[in-house]
Structure 1
Amino acid sequence: MTTSIEPGPSRYSFDNDDPESVGRHSHLSNILDPFTFQRLGTLGDLAGKRCLEVGAGGGSVARWFAEQAGPTGDVLATDLNVRHIPLDAGFRVLRHDLVAEPVPDGPWDVIHARLVLLHIPQREAVLARLAESLAPGGALVIEEWATEFGNLCLAAPDDEAAGLIDEYRDTLVNRVLPGRGNDPAWAARVHATMLANGLVGVDTAIDAASWPGGSPGALLIAVNVAQLHDDFIAAGFTEERIQRLYAAVQDPRLVVRSHFTYSTIGRRPGGS
């Protein structure tokens, strides 16, 4: 079952109405889905389960949920702007504001959010509401990037390319995103926040990888800058250096480290 909804306005840092958002969702799916599916696979048999995908983006995780839950399950994909979520992939779609609106009616057996709460200033209150919306024994899965760590460049064709990566990371993490409500250190606090909200069996796994120039991970850098171009210019990142950065991330001699992905799973007490 699908629900057709016209796209609405977005307040998210990386606006789904931006043409660059198509590439962003594709890159994120390529670099994050394998680890996400590995983690979700530890939840056991999801056949017939009710699964909520929060901030579904391009819908790749919701599609995986639909395949696992099967015809007897119920999967709902939500986003502030749903324009990139397919409407014919076996799950329901809902335009939804996670901050201003109640969590969609549950209770849910699984709730998953990836790279969502770190962008929301009310992240702790939202996590509490998500935890309350779980069925007894249900699992909350929160996956976030810890972006406070520097030294992203592992190899570069020259010092200038390495410096561009350092400047990009400093501009994005310390100047641009904090002004939009992002918390680069939130990922490491998710575990304790789940415990504080009464979840049990809380477990965190951390993943990272290297990305050569021209790969989805490196090209995501260019997409990020393109979507936040005016913010980068306002922060002092010149147009000339932006163009050089675009060239650098396509050079296979460049190798960058991914951010650390913290995947934290907690369960509501009860259930069989």
Structure 2
Amino acid sequence: METPGPADSSYAFGNDAPEAADRHVQLAALLDEFTISRLSALGDLTGRRCLETGAGGGSVAAWLAEAAGPAGRVLATDVDTQHLPAPAPYEVLRHDLEREPVPDGPWDVIHARLVLMHLPSREAVLRRLAAALAPGGALVVEDFETTFRKLVLAAPTMHAAALVDRYHVLLVERVLAAHGNDPAWAGRVPAAMLEAGLTGIDTVIHARSWPGGTAGALLIGANLAQARAGFLAAGMTRAELDELGRLVHDPRLLVRGHLTYSTIGRAPMPCGAAPCDAC
């Protein structure tokens, strides 16, 4: 396969595209239940200070605002905030996580879903996020691990299965790679958190099947629509893209959602606040 050129750090699926709203809807349907279960595992969030990075359509920020209540604070950030509702039950800040300092904290919860995998300086960003936590605060990083193949569990024809597989390979190896995406980053997050000084590292890996016409399959359609030029440049034909666009609505297609790694790490408590090896 041809080696891709230098990575472009701009996001392949920016919020300024007409298809972005559809992506946010599908991602919320795909991941919110899992994400909320992980955030709920942090304990009572009443009164907590929460930072939601890469907030997208705002579904997780809205849940955090309800969980934190009026005594808490939730700040939702994104490089493009146009898809966040106005007014919203949380603060909104247009912010570039890679190029600007972390918004003033300290924060009791910082959540980043499908954000760091797209940032070339992801390790440095994770260290800055970890440093912005209050003692005992939790950093929750959720990203797709897309190196694992076998996306298709069932398809109407062998040709259809091969076409979805080709889509996945080109998405990972060409379209996203050209923008600095790291498909294996999710599996390195636990080690990166440990290196950043976080403790109690806990990772849960989630995936489920999605038939045509539901969120996991429709996300493929949203990706094709938003990155059509990238897929054409990577070698797919217009006829293949159109066929895939129809296929994602076919209930005979059954795809596996990407493996989602959800990793939680906590900032150490001050010595004496809780038992630790140094005390």
Q: TM-score, normalised by structure 1?
A: 0.95
Residue pairs, 1:1-272, within 5 angstroms: 11-270=10-269
The aligned length equals: 263
Q: Can you give the 5+ residue segments of structure 1 that lack an aligned partner in the other structure?
A: 1-9
Q: Please tell me the residue identity of whatever aligns with 2:222.
A: V
Q: Please tell me the residue identity of whatever aligns with 1:97.
A: D
Q: Please tell me the residue identity of whatever aligns with 1:74.
A: R
8 Å contact kept, 2:10–2:179: no
- Cα distance in 2 for partners of 1:161, 1:96 equals 41
- Cα distance in 1 for partners of 2:203, 2:174 equals 28
User: Once the two structures are aligned, what percentage of the paired residues are identical?
Assistant: 61
- Cα distance in 1 for partners of 2:151, 2:10 equals 28
8 Å contact kept, 1:187–1:262: yes
- Give deviations 1:205-229, integer Å, cap 9, x for gaps: 0000000000011010011011111
Partner SS state of residue 135, structure 2: strand
- Cα distance in 1 for partners of 2:188, 2:10 equals 24
- Cα distance in 2 for partners of 1:32, 1:104 equals 25
- Cα distance in 2 for partners of 1:213, 1:130 equals 37
Partner SS state of residue 43, structure 1: coil
- Cα distance in 2 for partners of 1:224, 1:63 equals 25
Q: Please tell me the residue identity of whatever aligns with 1:59.
A: G
Q: Can you give the 5+ residue segments of structure 2 that lack an aligned partner in the other structure?
A: 1-8, 274-279
- Cα distance in 2 for partners of 1:198, 1:237 equals 44
CA apart distance, 1:89: 2.7
CA apart distance, 1:12: 1.9
- Cα distance in 2 for partners of 1:30, 1:251 equals 18
- Cα distance in 2 for partners of 1:260, 1:100 equals 28
Q: TM-score, normalised by structure 2?
A: 0.93
8 Å contact kept, 1:218–1:249: yes
- Cα distance in 2 for partners of 1:145, 1:259 equals 6
- Give deviations 1:162-189, integer Å, cap 9, x for gaps: 0111010011001111110000000000
Q: Please tell me the residue identity of whatever aligns with 2:94.
A: R
* Runs of 4+ more than 6 Å apart: none
